[in-house]
Amino acid sequence: MADTPKFLTTAEAAKFLKVSEASIRRWSNQGKLKCYRIGGRAERRFLESDILIGIEKFGEKEEPNHISFFFRSEKDQLDTVIPILVDYLKNGHRVLYIRDSTEEGKLYLSLEEQGINVKKSLEKGSLKLFDSSEVYLKDGHFDMDRVFTFWEDALQESLRMGYSKIFCSGEMTWYLTQLPGVEKMMEYEDKLNLITDKYPQATVVCQYDLNRLSGSIIIEAVLSHPLVLLGNRSYQGFYGSAG
């Protein structure tokens, strides 16, 4: 008598492969891992035999690449962010950074102090710094589709230039301007996961100032990101935690 096929839930498949549930969903959406939809809610189920066949492909742990970073002071912010930028740039990767509250000169000086030739990086294109008014609030309002187009174009350009890893980060205090459209920031954050799923080469870190943004915004940020960074510790976010 043939063995009954063993199906795993998303959580069980993630535990089996020692990866996040977000990675399981991403691989399923990309067609890399076959899934079956069952029940009225069409929940994902995975055959253990399918996972065993492709275990070499999925054996390495893959971290979520859409992260919310929470900080309480500019020092805490820069102490965390600058070493990441330096690491990417020194290893030949690309950095796309959208500033809002942090002064441009302070960012450049912090990078220079860590051995980065900012002028050379800017000329080469490995470092691109934008103001929130150029991206999030262009023409004096927030247009979610326009920002998605910006990310698509910037990431496609990065890949054409030969970059295999891209670090993207945006300071989210532009929400406080109360300009038209900013109320859609959290809808934007939720849908941004579709972009990060499409471009696993990119890591996107959205920066939230705990002292300036409201508690409701902070909670929604946790809900819309698969990974949360607070201080020097990381926690699983709640995006994609159901089904």
**141 shares its domain with 202:** yes
Of the residues 18, 34, 58, the one at which a domain ends: 58
**Cα distances (angstroms) measured from residue 142 to each of 54, 68, 80, 174, 175:** 42, 20, 27, 10, 9
Q: Are residues 11 and 108 in the same domain?
A: no
pLDDT at 160: 98
The amino acid occupying position 14 is A
181 class by beta-carbon count within 10 Å (0-12 exposed, 13-18 middle, 19+ buried): middle
**pLDDT in the model for residue 57:** 54
- Count up the domains in the chain and report the number: 2
Within 10 Å of residue 80's Cβ, how many Cβ atoms? Answer: 18
Range(s) of the domain holding residue 20: 7-58
On whether both 157 and 187 belong to a single domain, the answer is: yes
189 in the same domain as 87: yes
The answer as to whether 242 is a domain residue is: no
Per-residue pLDDT tens over the stretch 184-243: 999 999 999 999 999 999 999 999 999 999 999 999 999 999 999 997 788 888 786 544
Same domain? For 35 and 144 the reply is no
Position 49 scores a pLDDT of 74
pLDDT number for residue 234: 82
Looking at residue 55, its pLDDT comes to 57
**CA–CA gap between residue 199 and residue 114 (Å, rounded):** 28
Instruction: State whether 70 and 54 are in the same domain.
Output: no
pLDDT for position 113: 97
Written as six digits, the tokens of 217 are 């915004």
* CATH number for position 222: 3.40.50.300
Give the pLDDT of residue 135.
98
Assess if residue 2 is contained within a domain.
no
Residue ranges of the chain whose pLDDT lies below 50: 1-2, 59-61, 242-243
pLDDT for res 195: 95
Tell me which DSSP letter residue 212 carries.
T
Whether 164 is in a domain gets the answer yes
Is there a single domain that holds both residue 42 and residue 89? no
| pLDDT at residue 137, rounded to an integer | 98
Other Cβ atoms within 10 Å of 162 Cβ, number? 8
211 located within any domain: yes
Long-range contacts, stretch 114-121, CB < 8 angstroms, 24+ apart: 114/82, 114/83, 114/86, 115/86, 115/90, 116/85, 116/86, 116/89, 116/90, 121/89, 121/95
Residue 79 pLDDT: 94
Do residue 220 and residue 111 come from a single domain? yes
> What's phi and psi for 142, nearest 5 deg?
-95, 125
| Residue at 225 is within a domain | yes
In a domain, 241, yes or no: no
Residue 231, token pair as written in the block: 């201080």
**For position 48, what pLDDT does the model report?**
78
CA pair distance 238, 241, nearest whole angstrom: 5
Q: Is residue 120 located within the same domain as residue 176?
A: yes
Round to the nearest angstrom and report the end-to-end CA distance of the chain: 32
For position 12, which CATH number holds?
A: 1.10.1660.10
Task: Examine residue 85 and state whether it is found in any structural domain, yes or no.
Answer: yes
Regarding whether 205 and 174 lie in a shared domain, the answer is yes
Residues 53 and 85 in one domain: no
| Angle, alpha carbons 181-183-185 (nearest 5°) | 90
Query: Is 158 among the domain residues?
Result: yes
Based on the domain organization, do 31 and 131 belong to the same domain? no
Predicted pLDDT of residue 36: 87
